[in-house]
Amino acid sequence: MNPSSPYRRGVRFLRRRWPVVLRLAIWSVLETGQTFLTGYALAHALDDGFLDGREAVGLGWLGAAALGVLVAAYGTGQVYRAVADLVEPLRDSLVRQVVGRGLRDADGAAVSRLTQQVEIARDTFAGLVMVSRSFVFTAAGALAGLFSLDPLLLLVVAPPLLAGIGLFVASLRPLARRQEDFLIADERLAGQLGVVAPGLRDVAAAGAEQGVAEDLDRGVAQEYAAAGALARWGVLRTAALATGGQLPLVLLLATGPWLLDNGVTPGALVGALAYVTQALLPALHNLINGLGTSGSRLAIVLRRLTWDRPPEADAPPSVEGEAEAGAEAEVRGGETPALRLSSLTFAYGPHAEPVLRDLDLTVARGEHLAVVGPSGIGKSTLAGIAAGLLEPDAGNVWVDGMPVCGEGAVGRRVLIPQEAYVFTGTLRDNLRYLRADPVPEREMTTAAEAVGLAPLIERLGGLDATLVPAELSAGERQLIALTRAHLAYAPLAILDEATCHLDPVAEARAERAFAARPGGTLVVIAHRISSARRADRVLVMDGAHALCGRHDELMERSSLYRDLNGAGGWGEPRAGSHPSLALRDPYGVDPVPRPGLAGDRGHVVAHRSVGQMETVRDLGDRRTPGGE
């Protein structure tokens, strides 16, 4: 189990406040006494009093039950005091976290978190404590009362009660997953609508109504399926209540004659009915509805309040944006950025020239960034550092406000390299490799359709087809790796030329699928210039300095970016090619450096055989330079 899960945090919170928990349990015993007297006093009032002709004795037992109610009321008052001592520290802790993050990260949502979400967490936690405590002590008092009246009554009531509790506990985790699936589907559909609704005129002008409608239909169908699954699992909640709370009542009535024939008194039978109807059934009803609904609500709120809060000691400093020196992006809405690089320097060796020098970069949540530049300039190095695979010589890297190699950041980013990894096994196993929990088939097929893997699934014969990596093309392996990453929970996806073996149409489809993930952030080491044109911003790397901005801005400010666009873009068919590679290259790449290639600033000319070249200033000596 995740050490930072709401369950683990809750256990640690209660353990640190064990004196309050102990005081809460002691005062709850008074309520247990009142529950015990509910059936016990009623049974003796009937058997020893009214049915025996001694009304005074019967009234005395009823008076004892009334006195138990008064004592329990006093205990309830003390219970509320103990709950307050338990809940208020939680509220104070959450307030400190929200205020600290608001001051540290200029969190624009801090006011909402303070005025709404913190109070929701406080009230929900208090309700869960009251409901759980009440059920435990009420059930203990009722079962003790049944045993004291006659063990046969406990034999009739206890098995269905335990079965109902077991059914409810078994359904908690699947039900929570279905609730999360529904929320994800709802957020995804809301994100689609938020993009489509403001641009309806553009959609109509471009004649894209059918494609947009199909995308929205898929979103609606996914949310409908998630809602149906949630409703089906919700039936188990009703079944648990019927089994544990109402079935004992039916069994008591059905076995009444048998119980009376075996020594159970009429008063004991009536007392047992009182235990079931007045104690067990209401307590179980409150537990199932409170823990099943409020528990999920509390987990969601706590996750939003504390999920991405970095440790105080590791919190990155606030940095102003600089386009040339650092390509720093303005953080959207005051949120913690998805990726942040600060004063980053990296070299392959202690005496080597740095590939990256003093690079600052901020990628906001939900942003699509493309990284372009000549071959060997450091693009893949940047991807490796952002994914935590390479350690910089200087500077810091944060993912979602956490150090890139820290435990909290590991599951928040996924890197898809150029050479895709596919292992021998079923296609389903390959796709769910990055998920610890089972992946619903509908979710898997939806991701495959979005990325473009669906035709391969159909050709192979379904998700359970066995893969032999050597029998797949490089492009097919890339589609499998892309779909696997799309299914991962990591919100930051880094594509390091991960679509280089796909045609331009398939590449565009895959990138759009990642860019459309709700809350997802995409960083693409561009293989084609068309990737840069689709991005929100482009980072241009040329070794001397970095420029970051929108496509139109860079066309004005960056000569290298204009060259890349004017040349048709790397990886796309055009006259001539770049960069220089080996002779007889199957892609028609120039074997010898020559003027006009990307990165040439007028200082390179072809000379003699392959591998020989001269700079302009050395033309006079007609010799091959010695390492220049």
Residue 336 sits in a domain whose CATH number is 3.40.50.300
Q: What range defines the domain where residue 30 resides?
A: 1-150+297-309
Q: What is the pLDDT of residue 111?
A: 53
Q: Which of 93, 42, 102, 106 is nearest to 68 (CA)?
A: 42
Q: Is residue 505 part of a domain?
A: yes
Q: Do 511 and 535 lie in a common domain?
A: yes
Q: What is the pLDDT of residue 369?
A: 93
Q: Do 340 and 486 lie in a common domain?
A: yes
Choice among 191-205, 364-378, 382-396 with the minimum mean pLDDT? 191-205
Q: What is the pLDDT of residue 250?
A: 92
Q: Do 425 and 499 lie in a common domain?
A: yes
- Note whether 181 and 443 are within 8 A (CB): yes
User: Cα dihedral sign for 575, 579, 582, 586?
Assistant: negative
Give whole-number Cα distances, 154 to 29, 159, 160, 307, 378, in Å.
21, 8, 11, 45, 74
Question: Does residue 509 sit in helix, strand or coil?
Answer: helix
- Note whether 43 and 271 are within 8 A (CB): yes
| AA letter at 472 | L
Q: Do 512 and 367 lie in a common domain?
A: yes
Q: Do 445 and 498 lie in a common domain?
A: yes
| Rounded Cα gap, residues 569 and 374, in angstroms | 11
Q: Which of 240, 279, 250 is nearest to 42 (CA)?
A: 279
Label residue 602 by pLDDT band (50, 70, 90).
Answer: very low
Q: Do 361 and 510 lie in a common domain?
A: yes
Kind of pairing, strands 492-496 and 521-525? parallel
**Strands, E assignment, 419-525:** 425-426, 466-467, 492-496, 521-525
Choice among 19-23, 297-301, 495-499 with the minimum mean pLDDT? 297-301
Q: What does the pLDDT look like over 68-111, one tens digit per residue?
A: 888 877 877 787 788 777 777 776 777 776 666 555 544 444 55
| Rounded Cα gap, residues 30 and 376, in angstroms | 75
Q: What is the pLDDT of residue 240?
A: 87
Give whole-number Cα distances, 61 to 42, 46, 47, in Å.
7, 9, 11
Q: Do 559 and 616 lie in a common domain?
A: no
**Count of domains in the chain?**
4
Per-residue pLDDT for 156 more than 60?
Answer: yes
Q: What is the pLDDT of residue 48?
A: 87
Question: Does residue 462 sit in helix, strand or coil?
Answer: coil
Q: What does the pLDDT look like over 475-505, one tens digit per residue?
A: 899 999 999 998 888 889 999 888 888 888 9
Q: Do 344 and 465 lie in a common domain?
A: yes
| Rounded Cα gap, residues 472 and 457, in angstroms | 12
Q: Do 554 and 579 lie in a common domain?
A: no
Per-residue pLDDT for 410 more than 60?
Answer: yes
The two tokens of residue 571 are 């990886």
Per-residue pLDDT for 605 more than 90?
Answer: no
372 Cβ contact list (under 8 Å, min separation 6) = 379, 526, 529, 532, 538, 539, 540, 541, 561, 564
- The three-state (H, E, C) secondary structure of 154-212, written as one string: HHHHHHHHHHHHHHHHHHHHHHHHHHHHHHHHHHHHHHHHHHHHHHHHHHHHHCCHHHH
Give whole-number Cα distances, 31 to 134, 135, 239, 255, in Å.
8, 11, 28, 30
Q: Is residue 272 part of a domain?
A: no
Bridge partners of residue 606, in order along the sequence:
613
| Rounded Cα gap, residues 498 and 71, in angstroms | 70
Q: Is residue 363 part of a domain?
A: yes
Q: What is the pLDDT of residue 482?
A: 92
Q: What is the pLDDT of residue 5?
A: 52
Q: Is residue 614 part of a domain?
A: yes
Q: Do 93 and 241 lie in a common domain?
A: no
Q: Do 616 and 509 lie in a common domain?
A: no
Per-residue pLDDT for 467 more than 80?
Answer: yes
- Note whether 363 and 413 are within 8 A (CB): no
Question: Does residue 368 sit in helix, strand or coil?
Answer: strand
